[in-house]
Structure formats: C-alpha cells, structure tokens
Chain A
Amino acid sequence: MADLSSNFLGIKSPNPFWLASAPPTDKAYNVERAFKAGWGGVVWKTLGEEGPPVVNVNGPRYGAIHGPDRRLLGLNNIELITDRPLEVNLREMTEVKKKWPDRALIASIMVPCEEEAWKAILPRVEETGCDGIELNFGCPHGMSERGMGAAVGQVPEYIEMVVRWCKQYTRMPVITKLTPNITDVRKPARAAKSGGTDAVSLINTINSIVSVDLDTFAPNPSIDGRGSHGGYCGPAVKPIALNMVAEIARDAETRGLPISGIGGITTWRDAAEFIALGCGNVQVCTAAMTYGFKVVQEMISGLSDWMDSRGFRSIEDFRGMAVPNVTDWQYLNLNYITKAQIDQDLCIKCGRCHIACEDTSHQAITSMVDGVRHFEVIDEECVGCNLCVNVCPVENCIDMVPMLSGVDPRTKTPVQPDYANWTTHPNNPMAKVAAE
C-alpha cells in the first residue's frame, strides 16, 4: 500500500491534497468539514491587513463554461480576499490548528506592498500556530487595482522585495503564489527564489471574461448590467498550469525549488501529472466547489491504487519523473517517424478522421475504397500529425505507429535510426556543425 503522506517544506500532511486559498477555506466551519472529508491541508482564504475588511459584490461572483450536460469545465470568479475581520480569521485558524494538528494549515496573505504592513501582520499570523504562509501575488481582479495581488506578481522586483521582508520577519516557511497573467513565468519564479522563498505555488487564476450575455450585452457574471474580468480556473486551465510548472521545474535557475501545483486538478490523475512534473503537493479548489469536499476520497484512492500498480511507495518515488522529458522543440528527434493506423475492427465509420485530414490537414485518409465507405491511412501522405487520433471518438481506434526502419513512403527516404534534431539539421541556417 502506497504511503501518500506528504512533507512539503517540512510541513507534514497525511496526503498531498490541499485546498487552495479560496472561498472553501474562508471559515473554520468549511475547513473543518474539509478535514473531516479527508483533505491533507488547507491554505486559508487570503487575509488582508487589520481594519475594516474588504467588501465583495453582492451580485453574482462566479461565471462558468459548461459542457452540454452542464459539466462545469471552467469557472471564473470576481470574489476578493476574505471579507471577514482579520482577528476573526486568526482566532478560527488558531482553534482549527489546535484541533487538527496532523493537517497542514497555511495562511494566505495579501497586504499592501509596504514593509510595515508585512511586518505588522506576520507575527500575528505566526501566533495562530499555522504551518506556513502563502503570499498571494496572483489574485487578478479587484485587489490588483489597489496595487496588490497580481499587481505585485507581475513585477519581479516587487516579488523579490516582499519575499525578502517575509523571510526577515517570520520563521514560517514562505510559499510564493504566482500569477499566470505574465509572459514568462520563469521571471517571477526566479525573483521569488532570489528573495529567498521556500517554494512557489502556481497557478493563480487567469484573467478572463467567461461569456457575454447576448440579450443585455453584458459580460458574465454581470453586476447590475456591468461586468469586470475575473479569474479563470477549473479543468480548462490545467494545460496552462502544467506548462508553467514544467517551465519552473526545468529552468536552470529555479530547478529544485519546491512547487505546490495548482490549476484544474479534478481527479487523482491530474494530481499525479503535476507531481510527475515536479510538484511536492497539489492544491485544489474548483473540483471541491463543484462537487463538494468528498472528491478528495477519489483522489486519495486513485493516487494510491495507481502508485501500487506502478510500484511507487511514496510521492517522492515518482515526483519529477516527467521533468527530464520536457524539452525545447529544437531538441525533438526529427528522425522519429510515425504513421497513423486505423483499427478497422474498432472503426465505427463516422468519418471524422477523414474530413479533418481532408479539409484541414494532409489528405491522408480515405473515405471510400472500391465503392465502400472505408477509412484508411494513406502512408504516402501521412505526416504523423495525430489530428485523426484526437478527433476520433473511439478510444484506441487510431494509433500512431512508429516506423523503426525501411523507407518513409511519404518522403521516399530511409528511416534513420539515430537521433537528430533541428540544431544540426541542414535546413537550419543556424545549424551547429558537428565537431570533427
């Protein structure tokens, strides 16, 4: 039986599934329900500075993208940080941590970009007995208009500065939460590292307008006829998050920096993928907000059963195993040739592979052979692009089969068994000449 226990920056939790800082972690009531359901830890909803708390809109705070059966694919929110008084949150955090000593409790913090503000709040947070802090440099709406959240996360120098203050004024581990609303996520990650952060967590939500009401011409969610961009999350953002995690995991300057993976994690498989790309643990929000806290039970059993099937005994056994396989395009093997192959027994003759290839790609799939509806790959035309595999509604019906030897019928050139990439390709004007 696999051991799912997690030790992230010395913060122990019975499993690597934490709830991300968000509405589900705004109150003791919710957090205790989460712990009862089995969550390994929570990042408490972001605390602001002392004084009158922020206010939220009282109209809709969420918008969503749905599949035809109302499956929620993407969620967008315009809710701000906690709108409860600081002291109430701190008191509840203290009580919850005492009651649930084996669970991770992290305080998410967002105060103005001034040293005094951070200096003031950190000791009070530390008093709660929580296990660490997460700096919210990601929130893309509302707070960023006030110079906080993503407004900090978009300026690497600010990140470095604030992280440095935090490391100076608290002994707690510091996790820097990054915004995806930047062009190169490596820059803020490097800055956080320079400031001394113990870890980064990503991604926060993505600037978004989920839809426009075509009756009122207002963006959704609409507050009295007007809308503001929100932060996008849920299953739809996972590919973006995976890439950003991988960029940091393989960057020479940030390699080895602990990462808490966030972004559309819905099942154990998503979590395993983030961990395979180097994450020490994962944070979840939308899945819980869609289905309730019980989803963690599927994540726990799924990850455990998969690890058993692969012989992994702990999270560390497979963590980061996909990182070496993420590379730049220029290093991909240009001698690697695949051809699509359609399993005629599985084919249901919908013809989607044909029309996708015929209309939009390489005219490499038949629709009719000897007067009969028949879909077959024409190796002479197939470039191995995989589009047919992606559009085929039947799993495993179309396979990309590597050509290991012989002559590629498309290029009429022999298959080269050795690895060769763009850097040495004759068509590359910048090609490096192999040393004699």
Chain B
Amino acid sequence: MGSMDSGIRDVRAGRLASSEYSEVFSDLHPPLSRHEAFVESDRCYFCYDAPCMNACPTGIDIPLFIREIAAGNPTGSAKTILSENILGGMCARVCPTETLCEQACVREVAEGKPVKIGLLQRYATDYLMENGQHPFTRAAPTGKSVAVVGAGPAGLSAAHRLAMHGHDVTIFEARPKAGGLNEYGIAAYKSVDDFAQKELDFILEIGGITIQNDKALGRDISLDALRAGFDAVFLGVGLPGVNELGLDGEDAAGCIDAVDYISVLRQSNDLSEIAVGRDVVVIGGGMTAIDVAVQTKLLGAENVIIAYRRGPESMNASEFEQELALKNGVIIRHWLQPRALTRNERGEVCGITLDYTTMNDGRLETTGESVTLASDQIFKAIGQMPAEKILAEAGMALSRGRISVDEERRTSIPGIWAGGDCIAGGQDLTVAGVQDGKLAAESIHRALSMQPEKVSGFAEAVIASNSEPATTSAQHTANPGHISG
C-alpha cells in the first residue's frame, strides 16, 4: 500500500517470470483421463427421470451420455450431449454445475459427492472434437434465410440448429471475432487453448452459416433492414453496456471496466504484456467480479479486494466461484458501497472510499462509517446493460431494458426472436443462452415450414401455430433428427 499518499500508481506488466504465466493460467479443472472417466462414469446410478437431467437448462440426457462413456462409446456420448447442446464443450467448462446438474445429483444428496457430470461431459465432447467428424448433417436447403445478430452462445446455438434444418444463416457480430463471452468474457483458466474458436469452427462445420464480423446492430445494420432482407431474425445481442458507479472520476485512468479488461486479457497472446496493479479493488459481487479479481491476482497483483455492498448470500457469484476467489488469495469484503474515488495530481484514480452498509427493514443503508482503500486499479463489475435504446426505438416490448419473449423466444415484433442475456428473465448463463437459441430456432423452423412461399407475413403463421399446431410442424421436435454416424 502507500500508493495513495504518494499518488504514484504501481501498475506494471510482467509481474511474473514469463515461464509462470502458462502455469498459473492453466486449466482450472484438468480433463479426466480415460480411466478416470470410466471410474467416474461408474458412479452414475442411471437414475429414472434423472434429477440432473431436469436441472440442465438444455435438458441433456445426462444418465445416457454417462452410460455411453462407461460403455466405451465417447463418440455416442458426445452426440447425446451435442444433440441438446451444441456448445456442450464450452458448457462443460463454464457451467456452474454445482448449482445445476451436480447439485441435483442424487449422490450429492446422499454423500455430498455428486458425479462429476461437467468433467464427464468435457471428456466426451473433447473426444469427439479431437477424433470425430461433425456429428450432424444438414437437411436439404429450404431456400429460407435467417439473420442472427450476435455470435455468442445463443446466436451460435440458434444458427447451428437453423442450419441443420436447411435454412441459410447469416450471423452479424459486432466484434472482430465470433464467440461472444466465450471468446471475450470467460476467465482464461476456464477456456484454455483457444477452445472458444475451436468450438466455433466445430459448429460451423454443419455448413450454411456465414459470419459477418464487425457488424453491430444500430451501427452497421438495422432491424428494419434485417426484417426486410431475411425470412426471420434472431437477436442474441447480449448486454453491450456496462453499469456505471455514478462517481466523479470514473472515466479517469485507474478506474476500469472489468469486462473490457477481461476481453483484452482473453485476446492477448502474451499475458506478460497485461499491466496489473499492485493493489486492486473490484466493485461488484457477480461472476465478472470474481473473474477479474482472480485473474488480476494470477497476473501478480499483491492485494486484491472485492468490495460488495451486501452479504455473501446476495452475491450473484456462486458459492464455488466465491471459494475459488478465496483460494486464490482474493479478499472478499461485504457490506461496502462505493462513495468516492481518490485521484492523484495527474487526475488518475488511486484510491476509493467506501461506506459501510447494513440492512434495515429490508433496505440497504449506510452506517455512517467508511473506509478508504488505496488502489492502483479499480475494476467496475456491477453488471452489464442491455442495448435498450436500439431495441426500444424499434418498438420492441422490453422488461427493465431487456427483451420480453414468450416461451418460444418470440419477441413482440413478428418475425423476430431473441435469446441469451438480452432477454428478460434470463439466467445470464451460457447454457441458458444455448437453450434459448435452440428453442428459438425450432420455433423459427416451424414458422418457416408452415409458410414456405411467403417471406413477409410469416408472423401470422406464428400466431396461427399458437392456436392450432399444423401437421407439418409435428415432426419438428426439440430433438434433431439428423444425427449421422
């Protein structure tokens, strides 16, 4: 500490020996070996109406894929997984399994040691991606085209499913690379070896998908143009904005958007070039706060403090993530709310004053006490914002800035579907986005199949399908029928 008195910020790259970076940023959960996978898969009881399966947002048949591993058929296992979740490889790495499938596992109930479903899923999907071919084939071309906005998990999931059904898909992505948060957002130690791009390549093998990078909604493309040029539109635009602290000086050097910092880190080929402070303060209580805190610690920051304005039970970061932060030497301080930033002579932020908070009759209040922490870097990780303005201008029904959708992921505008973090009521999880994309794609497919000759006006068909499902749609269930050997 001490930087605040002098005002000299200690922010440096290369705090570690260059050989250390690959080690500290190695795989958080190393993959299972073949033997480990056999032993672990044998722990699965192949439950009836398995609770894990019901807990999976994408409804993967977990007992079946685990049994396929146990029987020495990792390829079949991967097909079982990917048929419900085409991003099963990434989900195996980033899903908070401890609050989803593994929490529901009967062995968690029985002995506190669930079957390692996430690692088994990774074993199978890794095997297929390393050894096999793309397991799905495209249906005959339908002549229909669908625009997908955003190449994140939701958009890729929708695009793959639509392509599989024979539609032509064009993805418009604001960033230079596809992948969304998988590429730019997830902590480096959860997705090593450029896995997001490998998975993207794997998904695109289905064919019929074109990606246009550097095309942002509202900047390079408009909803009206998309509706005019395509038979259907899927929005998976995520949350492009970042919430502000609302404090003076937060635009100054030393106060950083956590999301931006992580994306720079993720795109870096040489982590020793990433500058990191000696004293780091992270404001927030979600996954992003944990991700930036742990990664700055791994980059060599000496003191990393997460300051969160409520208690541990209110943190959006899962218990596992909180433990991960603590294990890495991050300090989590609860009941602290930012009040003011301290700036040095050069106008750079070098400290933060936080008020102590407490709950009073269900309301968060400050206690009157405060603490000032010296900091070389302050990271804002207090949530991301939807692209509310663009969406509202298009006349789309929103709920607290996010897109309102029905159970098929249809928006209020006929012909436009949406999914992922940009929709209301979402879980802000990769796996939830994948499910949104899958459901929307099936809904789009049903809509397009019912009105094969009509480009405009298919929204009426959507409405019609609500009241009376047509026979043509009956064969299109959530399960793809095009698995090939």
Contacts and interface: CB of A to CB of B under 8 A. Distances in A.
A373 B51 CA distance: 10
A67 B42 contact: yes
A340 B70 CA distance: 30
A349 B51 CA distance: 9
Contacts of A354: 48
Interface in B44-77: 45-51, 70
A69 B109 contact: no
A348 B70 contact: no
Residue from A70, A350, A352, A367 with most neighbouring chain B CB atoms (10 Å): A350
Contact of B109 (A67, A70, A348, A355): A348
Contacts of A138: none
A67 B110 CA distance: 23
A69 B42 contact: yes
Given A68-B70, A394-B110, A350 B42 contact: no
A351 interface: yes
Contact of A351 (B39, B41, B49, B109): B49
Contact of B106 (A70, A349, A355): A349
A393 B44 CA distance: 10
B107 interface: yes
Contacts of A355: 48
A394 B45 CA distance: 11
Nearest to A66: B38
A271 to B, nearest CB: 28
A64 to B, nearest CB: 15
B159 to A, nearest CB: 36
B109 A349 contact: yes
A354 B39 CA distance: 25
Contacts of B51: 349, 373
Contact of A367 (B41, B48, B107): B48
Contacts of A394: 110
Contacts of B109: 348-349
B38 A68 contact: yes
Nearest to A214: B72
A350 B45 contact: yes
A345 to B, nearest CB: 12
A392 to B, nearest CB: 10
Nearest to A359: B48
The size class of the interface chain B forms with chain A is 10 to 19
Contacts of B42: 67-69
A352 B39 contact: no
Interface in A331-378: 348-352, 354-355, 367, 373
Contacts of B110: 348, 394
Nearest to B45: A350
Chain B interface SS verdict (over half): helix
A373 B46 contact: no
Contacts of A351: 47-50
Contacts of A349: 47, 51, 106, 109
Residue from B46, B50, B110 with most neighbouring chain A CB atoms (10 Å): B110
Nearest to A70: B35
A389 to B, nearest CB: 15
Interface string A65-106: 001111000000000000000000000000000000000000
A70 B34 CA distance: 12
A213 to B, nearest CB: 13
Nearest to A68: B42
Nearest to A391: B45
A340 to B, nearest CB: 16
Contacts of B107: 348
A68 B41 contact: yes
A352 B47 CA distance: 6
Interface string B91-122: 00000000000000011011000000000000
A393 B39 contact: no
Contacts of A348: 106-107, 109-110
Given A348-B109, A349-B109, A350-B106, A69 B38 contact: yes
Interface in A116-151: none
A67 B46 CA distance: 17
Nearest to B49: A351
Contacts of A350: 45, 47-48, 106
A62 B120 CA distance: 32
A373 B49 contact: yes
Contacts of A67: 42
Contacts of A367: 48-49
B41 A352 contact: no
A410 B73 CA distance: 43
Contacts of A70: 35
A393 B106 CA distance: 11
A352 B70 contact: no
Contacts of B106: 348-350
A70 B42 CA distance: 11
Contacts of B41: 68
Residue from B42, B48, B50, B106 with most neighbouring chain A CB atoms (10 Å): B48
Residue from A349, A354, A367 with most neighbouring chain B CB atoms (10 Å): A349
Residue from A67, A348, A349 with most neighbouring chain B CB atoms (10 Å): A348
Interface in A164-199: none
A352 B35 CA distance: 26
A66 to B, nearest CB: 9
Given A68-B70, A394-B110, A352 B48 contact: yes
Contacts of A68: 38-39, 41-42, 70
Contacts of A352: 45-48
Contact of A69 (B39, B47, B48): B39
Interface in A25-81: 67-70
A351 B51 CA distance: 10
Nearest 6 Cβ contacts at the A-B interface: A351-B48, A68-B42, A355-B48, A348-B110, A350-B47, A348-B106
Interface of A: 67-70, 348-352, 354-355, 367, 373, 393-394
7 contacts: A68-B70, A70-B35, A348-B110, A349-B51, A350-B45, A350-B48, A367-B49
Given A67-B42, A348-B110, A355-B48, 16 more contacts: A69-B39, A70-B35, A349-B47, A349-B51, A349-B109, A350-B47, A350-B48, A350-B106, A351-B50, A352-B46, A352-B48, A354-B48, A373-B49, A373-B51, A393-B45, A394-B110
